[in-house]
Structures are given as structure tokens and as C-alpha cells.
Structure 1
Amino acid sequence: MIPQEIIRRKRDGDELDPDDIRSFIAALAAGQMSEGQIGAFAMAVWFKGMSRAETVALTLAMADSGDRLQWADIDRPIADKHSTGGVGDNVSLMLAPIAAACGLAVPMISGRGLGHTGGTLDKLESIPGYMITPDADLFHKVVKEAGCAIIGQTGALAPADGRLYAVRDVTATVDSIPLITASILSKKLAAGLQTLVLDVKVGNGAFMTDRAQAEILAQSLVEVANGAGVTTSALITDMNQPLADAAGNTVEMRNCLDFLTGGKTDTRLETVVLAFAAEMLVKSGVAPSADEGEGMARKALSSGRAAEVFARMVSMLGGPADLIENPGKYLARAPVEKPVLAPRSGWLAACNTRGIGISVIDLGGGRRHPADRIDHRVGFSELLPLGTRVSAGEPIALVHAADEAAADRAVAALAAHCRITEEKPELEPVISTRI
């Protein structure tokens, strides 16, 4: 295999053979490829694209570049969910224990915040003692005994993706549908999944702001995953406002605990969580229909089984056993809390969701540089949903900050990110399309 020949052929728009793709990725993972060659390959794919067969081959090659997890001793369906990222999107924290309480095994490998979006791992690190990188034996034990485990990616899973992504990040080739598809799915295939559901976000708080592009990405992910042997579907969901009524790490963890104990019913967040639970149960063959799957999920919540699964997962991964009963004992509060007041009466009609995510970072709740330390305490809570009627001076959110100056800046920023109108807005449905 001569790397420059593969690069040249893709540059010229030729379709690559699966063997050539496998050889290229194997050399990349082994450190036998220069960054210049990796960047040239990524740029050639960015310009010329890949056929569905090429994308499947790339995904499988990247998945095979490291370890593949095995779950032969677990007699439950192995299932997972992935989100393309948003603000106030803490669905995974509740979905995994709900699905486990309904009979699935959920080995959920999650990531940190990226850009303006929050990261599941950052939220979990607000729990004292929680291990996001357990060894393989403990990960397996937690999935088998608790039903789910939410952890971070290890270097042994799809290592080719890590090297390719690092080069894409500095060569303006991140936003390539084939490369995004292979990056997401290679890690999921390496995790040994049987079924997968995808949450593809669209809106001003998503990476995909254009609906047509979101549908193209969703279609690519579904077709490639199914082509690689994992039964997969996708829902396209709205990210024109924060999904939860909280944005930040500890505040979203409190939101999760409230949800699991029945405190977040009749919300957009509940709609999304239950829809994905139903989708997972149907895809795995546990529920015959979406309606019955949603009913199972609701029962897992109302009975307390989902909360019990979450508590066991947290305890087995080093966190406190009584987190759900005593969240205030473990989840630190920011020293300054200030309300954001509506400047006028009217309807909350729109918000700059990406701006809200950036404001969380400005408070210290996210990273500007990879080595930055996060202040897990900060963020926004009690965010009123769009379509709410408010009066002048009424709180529309609560800021959690490390000091008074940061709180004042966040209050002003959040107010500027929200638009109040005299007329009631027409809002997009939270779930628009199933693929």
C-alpha cells in the first residue's frame, strides 16, 4: 500500500477499494502515516466525498484499529444512543438507566463538551468519586450487574479515530459527512453494540443549523451503521432552545436526579427521553411498538426502578450510594446565585442557544483550551421554555456563578440571548423526523 497513491485516487474522485481503506487506516493507527498524509487524505475526502460503501469500509477499518468489547456473557440486548450535541442536553443521564430498567444492557461511551455544547462526562464528574475511566473489567461488571455504565472512551477503542480527528481539527476538515459518520460510528461499533439510536440535533444551538444538512447526516449515519451490522435509527430533534431547564454541569446533574424522581414531567426533555427509550426498546425487540415502549419507560420511572439503576451505577463506579436521597450533600452549589429578570412583558419567543452555551463556558463551566479546569458548579437553571408568557421583572432564569462580577456578566448575557415579543410564537416540534 502506497499512501500517496490512495490520496491521489481519492483526490481525483475515484472510489477506493475496501482493502486500500483498511490498509491506510491500519498504517495510520500504527503511527506509520505522517500528519501531512493524514491531512491530505482528509482534505481529499472533504472535497470529493465518499460513496456509502467507502464510508462503511472506513468506519469498519477505524472500529477494527483497536479493541472490540465483547458481551457474550450478558443475555440482554446490547444497546446505546448517541447525540450530535446541544445545550442543556442531558438525555443520556436519564435514558441509560431507564433503558436498563426495561431490560437492555447499555454500555454508553460518552464524551466531553465540544465547542459550545455540554459533555456527559463533565456532568458526571460533578459527582464526587465517580470514575469516568474504569478499567475494562469494572466497566463490564457494572454493565452486567447494574444494567448500564456511562464512561469515557479509552485509548484502546478506535485509536485511529483519535489520530484522524486531531488532524481534521486543525485542517478545516471536521465538517465532512463521511468523516463525521466514521468518527461517530467507529467508536460505537468497537463498543460491541447490537442496536443504536441517534439524536441528530438541528437549530441555532446545534452543530447542524440547517435541516437539510441534518437529514443528510442522519441518513448517512443510519445507512452506514446498518451496513456495518448494527440495527440503527435516528430522530432529528430541535435545538433552538436548551433542551432541559438547566445548562451547566452540576445544575444538569440536579436536573437529572429531579427527572428520575418524577420532578420533570410534561416537559420537552421528557418527550425526548421517552421517545428515545421507546426507540431503543423497539429496535432491541423488547417492545412491539413505540407506544408500548414508552409505556414501559414511564413505568420504569414511576416505579423508581430507573432511579435505582442510576444509583447502583454511580455507587459501583465510585460515587456516593445515597446521591439520589441526599443530592445536596454531594453536589456543590456555586457561591453566587442571581435571577435573570424579564426586561418587559410578553412571550418568550426565541433565544440564541449557542450563545447560552458560550455563556456557560464564560462562567467557567466549559473549556476554551483542552487543559482548562472546569468549575462544575456554574451555569444556568430554572430556564423558562420558549412560548412562556412572562411579566416585566419576572425571573426567566437563575445564574450560578463563582463571584459577583461573573454573575453580573452572565445575567446581562442571558437577557441579551432571549427575545420577548407581544405575539405568542409558533414553535418547532421537539422531534421532527424519524430516519
Structure 2
Amino acid sequence: MRWLWFPVLGAMLVFGSLTVASVATVFGDRRIPDWQGPERSWLDFLPAASGFVVGGIAVALLGLVLLRGRTPDWVFPVGSIVASGVVCLTSLALWDVPQGLFGHPFGPGELLGLALALGVAAYRASPVWLMAGVGAAAAALLSDRLRDSAPIVSHRDLVYIVLGLMIMVAPALYLRWRDRQRRDQLALARQEERLSIARDLHDVVAHQVTGIVVRVQALRHITANEANGSGRDNGEGQSTAGAVRDSLPEIEEAASDALRSMRDLVHTLRDAGDPPKGPFDAAAHLTALRQERRYDQPEVRVTVDGPLDDLPPDVGHAVIAIARESVTNALRHAVGARRIDVGVWRERDSVHVRVVDDGDGSPSLTPRGGFGLEGMTERAHLLGGTLDAGPPTAGDGWRVHAALPTTRVGVR
């Protein structure tokens, strides 16, 4: 989160520099002999002060949009309208002042602040609020005529204003479209991860339910034979009551396991044409991730501490999926990495997966792993676990750590 303050600090530095430059320009103009501009007075400093205030509003809006908090969307166009109002009030204050040959032009801080404030509003505002902000900005740009010695609006001025507004709004609208596209892709990644979990668990649950059906059919066969008078045992000296007594705990255990696995999959669907994925050896799949260091690929080390064969099926699939996706992300994005460490260990009621690389850990605007990271997080949350990803506390690189519960209350 610290890097989010860099643009804000940079914008503050820019607007502060522009304000100092504007004030220095006023003092420099006062030393020019035979000055042909507006009459010298304290009002000469108004454009610099206006640029400082407008820049402050723009920086505040930029900080709010970068923090991505719960700031209402209407705050941004209202801030843009307030910035435009400051410029208009400055123009009105300079209207009745002798303008000389060229009057009081806009200060650089005013123009840049208007552009930034309107751009932030275009990124977050609804269409109605955005039109209000654009209208206020147009009025602020038109108010430049009040500062001129010839306050006449020409067709060329209108063209320049329209072009200026387009330049202010177009980049923000593009970023807004890209952000919406990314949100849609993230939603699709989460949905695909849900479907992947459904595919993984469907066959495991089907195997368990098949065992239940087989046991129930055997009991029906035994009771049918007794009802027909063919005997009181099942051919091996076991009575019907004994067979029922021995089978019921097995049926109960299998049904409970199936219900535990299906707990998080009530609203998911499965694609019909996919191949089945039954229970598998998690340790063997983790070992398959190992690779020796090559000239273009880092070494992948895998450490497994504790048994994994008794993991619930959904948790076992999640362990493999998170480890494989994390290693794949590291191989693709870990610039300069020499080693990738994969660790899986058991605790009392949970299993942990940690993947760490020693590549370039510098922050970037796009989180390493992209939509795969969102899918892993969604899978962990569905199982009642957690997943954290980011630079390690010490050194460079990237770390992914997932904790998944292994004990859940079944339905009895």
C-alpha cells in the first residue's frame, strides 16, 4: 500500500513547484520597465493562489481514488465542481481590474488542477454527475475571457475548450473501461475456480455415494431373501439384524463424508464433458513440481512435512492447485529468481502451503499472478481457509501462503 502514496506525493510536489514558479513570475514581471500588462496590485497573485487551492483539491481526490476505500462516487464530481468554482470566482475577482494588453492568464496550477480533478471525476462518477463536472469545467475555461482585455468568446475559443475537455476526460474514461474489464475478468476467474472445485469434488462424492448405494442394495437383497423364507442368514451365517448393524455405521460415515465435501458446492455446476478427477496422491503431485535449475529456469524445491493421504478430497485438490498455480506464477513473473521453495506441512486442524521465490520483489501496478491469484484466493475462502500473497517481510521475492482447515463438522 505504501507505493500508492507515491503519485500523491509527486502531485503535491508538482503543484507546490508550480505555485512557487507562478509567484516568482509575478515578482519578475514587476521588475519589467514599461509594463504593458494589467495594473500591478496584490490581485496579481490570485491565479497562483487559485492554482494552489485547485491543485490541493485535485491531490485530495487523487488520494481518495487511489486508496480505493468506501468514498461515495459523488464526492469526486463534487470536488471537480468545487475546483471549477474556485477558478470562476478568481476570474470574477479579476474581471473589474484594468487588464492592460493581455490581462491575467490562467496559471499552470489552475489548468493542471482542473485537468486532474475532472479526470478523477470521470474515472469514478456516474454519467449524470460527470456531465455536471464537465459543464462546470467548461464554465471555468470560459471564464478566462473575464481576465482578458477583450472578453469576447470566438468560435476558435469554443473549439479549444471542447478539445481541452476531451483531453481531460479521455484518459480517465479509458482507465475506467480497463478497470471494468479487469473486474469482469476477475469475476470470471472466480466463477471458473468455483466450477473447477465442483469438477474436482463431483467424482469424489460420486465415489462415496456409490459405496452407499452398494451397501443399501446388499441390505435389500438380504431382507428380500428373509421375506421370501429362503433363510435367516446371508449365506455366511450372519443374521439380517447383524448385517444391518454392521452396515449402518459404514453408510453413515460415507454419507457424512459426502455431505462435508458438498457443503460449499450447493450452487455450483459442472461441465458435462470434462474427465473425472477422483482421489489422488497429493504428495506425489507435489513432488512432480520439483525441477533442477537450468540456465533459463530457477530451481524448484519441494518439502512435505506430515502425511497428506488422509486430507479431505476437496482440501487435497486445493493444496495441489495452489502449489501448482503459485509455482507457475513464479516461473512466469519472478524476474531473476534462482530458487522457488514449496513447503507443505500439517498442523493440528489445518494444512499449510507456502511458495516463496527470490526474484525481483519490487511492487507493480498489476499484482503478480493476475487472475490466477484471485482464483486461488477464492478456492481457499470457499474451503474456510485464508490465502495471503505479497513480498516477504525480509528480502526480495514473492510469497504465497495458504492455510486450509482439515477438520469440519459433518452432518450426522
TM norm. shorter chain > 0.5 = no
Structure in which a larger fraction of residues adopt helix: 2
Q: TM-score, normalised by structure 2?
A: 0.20
TM-score norm. by structure 1 comes to 0.20
**Larger relative contact order (CA 8 Å, sep ≥ 6):** 1
Who wins on radius of gyration, i.e. which is larger?
2
Q: Which has the higher strand share?
A: 1
